[in-house]
């Protein structure tokens, strides 16, 4: 059981890192036109991608924290 949780934890941490890097890349690709875009036109595709990647990062971090909590609880009872 612990082995599966450790593997899941490693995968969640890798997914967090990938989402973070993709979000930063999307941020760096934001152009001056995106920044000067009128608010009435809504968010640009680059901003939507940034938001999606950062939401994914938070979700993967939450998953990693939950897995660590489960591992700690299992260790306390074992």
Domain extent for 15: 2-35+43-77
Whether the pTM exceeds 0.85: the reply is no
> What 3-state class would DSSP assign to 78?
coil
pLDDT tens figures, 28-64: 888 777 777 787 888 888 888 889 999 999 999 999 9
In the chain, the number of structural domains is 1
What is the average pLDDT value for the chain, to the nearest integer? 89
Query: Residues 67, 16: contact at Cβ < 8 Å?
Result: no
Q: How many CB atoms are located within 10 Å of the residue 38 CB?
A: 6
């Amino acid at each position: 059981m612990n082995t599966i949780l450790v593997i899941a934890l490693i995968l969640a941490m890798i997914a967090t890192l990938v989402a973070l890097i993709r979000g930063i890349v999307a941020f760096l690709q934001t152009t001056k036109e995106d920044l000067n875009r009128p608010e009435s036109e809504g968010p640009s595709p680059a901003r939507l991608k940034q938001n999606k990647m950062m939401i994914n990062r938070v979700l993967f971090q939450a998953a990693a924290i939950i897995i660590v909590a489960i591992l700690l609880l299992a260790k306390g009872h074992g």
